[in-house]
Structure 1
Amino acid sequence: MTDLHDPRFATTLARGLSVLRAFRVTDDGLSNAEIAQRTGLPKSTVSRLTFTLGQLGYLVQSPRDDRFRPGPTLVAVGHVAAASLSFLVPAHDLMQRLAEETGTLVVLAVRDGDKMVLIRTWRPMHVASIWLEVGQRIPFQPFSSPRAFVAAATPEEIDRIVSESIADRDAMADLLTTRPLVRTEMMRQGFVSTPAGSGPAAYNAVSVPFRSGNLAEPVIFTCGALPSEASVERMQSDVGPRLAAAVRTLERLTGQAPGLIRTEA
């Protein structure tokens, strides 16, 4: 649980990190006002933080438009973090091949607070696919990745998530209510299938959890496609089993345990 009142909690550091998390791959720089809007911090606070982060090399400010962009220090830290996730190396070829064979977008999502954030994408060549980018955040609602994550999380992990600041507690309650059914679905067929909804989930998707020894929680591999490109039936009969097989292969290559904990006390 994040205890903001704990005397050990460094509020200024937390605010600085929230500024860094405000940036997305598709951004062409952000102004202080835009960062303030995304973080909910006062603009005066953001100005001090961006100045400090700029002095330390985590951000750079363009003299052309005064907008801030990730700096070399932040890029270096990101490369170190990515390198620590050793499973990404064998996952790359497996998931790129899966994207090509199925014509779907393959993404890797991890939990970031009350959202799932995409940290890798694999696109099929010469095939139009849904447009999701690294850094995009998916709320904890009944979408494919959050459903698979909640189903794969242990009771202890669930308690930790629920104790944190979840913006949409009704949606989280729905995910917890359907968790037993989703777990049964994944144990029976190896993946969870979620039909297209509306808004950010207007695509058919299948998801499979993966557990890495480098991370405290499961991560989620997902294949997604527009309904016009891949029907629910094809996602369930073809894409889902292929994704499950790819993740099982990744587990064997990396010596990791199954992503779904099959027994609970």
Structure 2
Amino acid sequence: MHVLARTSNLLTDLSTTLEEKKESRHFVTALSRGLDILALFTRDVTALGNEDIAQSTGLARSTVTRMTYTLSITKHLVYDSAIKKYRLGPATMAWSYAVMDSMAGVQSLTPFLQDFANQIGASTVALNIQAGSEVIYVAHASGPAQVQVRTGVGTRLKLWQAAAGRVFWSVSDDAKKHEVEQEWLNFPADVRARIAEEMRAAQAEWDSYRFCTSIGAWRLGINAVACTCGDGSGSGWKYVVSCAGMSAEFDLETLKHRIAPQLKDFANFLAPKLTSL
């Protein structure tokens, strides 16, 4: 019981940095590395070889080989001998269904997202949550302005690429921002500098307008705007609503002056529904 209390305190103590949490004797590095490998697989990246994984994680090839072997034995990965790469295995499906069940209340709001997408002519309207340096769609609707990019529940976008991610960054305190920055340390210096510059611009935009935009940062020709679903108190920051469309229809001025005001009203409409879930 005392051990559970101590670990719970570590997890909930906002003054404890990510580095301090990782240095705790309760932190299992091997498990963390295995989960990092599984997190590399996305809708767009469905197969990876050991060399791909080593380059993405910065782990030694020998370490990756042991990890993928273990994950294959536990059925979290399966090896595709035809292409000599790994894919997610059936054991991960249990996690997916469990998470989907826990998000059932949020996904019940999808019809409202669909109506809003149709109303403003967006390609995508989504509810987002933050997971470290990424945002994840937990509810999603496709509007009439279809784009040739597949998105849906479970889509993951980098924090600095997504309008929703920029909102999450802007409303975070310094400790939370520092945690996210630690995940960027392996990036080349020029990439880190570009991300820092874009996040400073996002913070300024949020401070001025209470929304953030993303102009072609995720995909060239796709622009987006996002805002929080709440007033910043309690669980109000837990969800961010975003909408995206083709740059020809969703240029920066349109996002700021036509879409953003409607999105804010929609967020205020969703906020009490999210609070009651």
Contact 2:127-2:239 at 8 Å conserved across structures: yes
Structure-2 residue corresponding to 1:222: 242
Structure-2 residue corresponding to 1:263: none
What is the aligned length?
A: 247
2:65 and 2:59 map into 1 onto residues whose CA distance is 10
The alpha carbon displacement at 1:214 in A equals 11
Do the aligned partners of residues 86 and 209 (structure 1) sit closer, same or farther apart at CA in structure 2, a change above 3 Å counting? farther
Q: Secondary structure at the match of 1:9?
A: coil
Instruction: Give yes or no for the alignment of 1:112 onto 2:131.
Output: yes
2:234 and 2:42 map into 1 onto residues whose CA distance is 24
2:48 to 20, 27, 30: 30
TM-score of the two chains, using structure 2 as the length reference: 0.73
Instruction: Give yes or no for the alignment of 1:209 onto 2:233.
Output: no
1:15 to 8, 14, 33: 33
Using the aligned pairs only, state the percent identity.
20
**Letter paired with 1:232:** L
1:2 to 10, 13, 18: 18
The alpha carbon displacement at 1:20 in A equals 0.3
Q: Secondary structure at the match of 1:33?
A: helix
2:234 and 2:50 map into 1 onto residues whose CA distance is 34
Contact 1:210-1:221 at 8 Å conserved across structures: yes
1:162 to 178, 183, 193: 178
2:220 and 2:241 map into 1 onto residues whose CA distance is 16
TM-score of the two chains, using structure 1 as the length reference: 0.76
Contact 1:53-1:59 at 8 Å conserved across structures: yes
2:146 to 125, 128, 131: 128
RMSD over equivalenced CA pairs, Å:
3.4
Q: Secondary structure at the match of 1:50?
A: helix
2:198 and 2:217 map into 1 onto residues whose CA distance is 17
Structure-1 residue corresponding to 2:166: 147
Structure-2 residue corresponding to 1:68: 86
Any stretches of 5+ residues in structure 1 without a counterpart?
187-191, 258-265
Structure-1 residue corresponding to 2:8: none
Contact 2:106-2:274 at 8 Å conserved across structures: no
1:199 and 1:250 map into 2 onto residues whose CA distance is 25
Instruction: Give yes or no for the alignment of 1:137 onto 2:157.
Output: yes
1:213 and 1:51 map into 2 onto residues whose CA distance is 45
2:264 to 233, 244, 248: 244
Do the aligned partners of residues 10 and 32 (structure 1) sit closer, same or farther apart at CA in structure 2, a change above 3 Å counting? same
The alpha carbon displacement at 1:237 in A equals 3.7
**Letter paired with 1:235:** L
The alpha carbon displacement at 1:25 in A equals 0.6
Q: Secondary structure at the match of 2:244?
A: strand
Q: Secondary structure at the match of 2:42?
A: coil
1:23 and 1:48 map into 2 onto residues whose CA distance is 18
Any stretches of 5+ residues in structure 2 without a counterpart?
1-16, 185-191
Contact 2:126-2:241 at 8 Å conserved across structures: yes
2:86 and 2:236 map into 1 onto residues whose CA distance is 32
Structure-1 residue corresponding to 2:109: 91
Structure-1 residue corresponding to 2:4: none
| Bigger mean CA offset, 198-207 vs 75-84 | 198-207
1:171 and 1:113 map into 2 onto residues whose CA distance is 15
Structure-2 residue corresponding to 1:46: 64
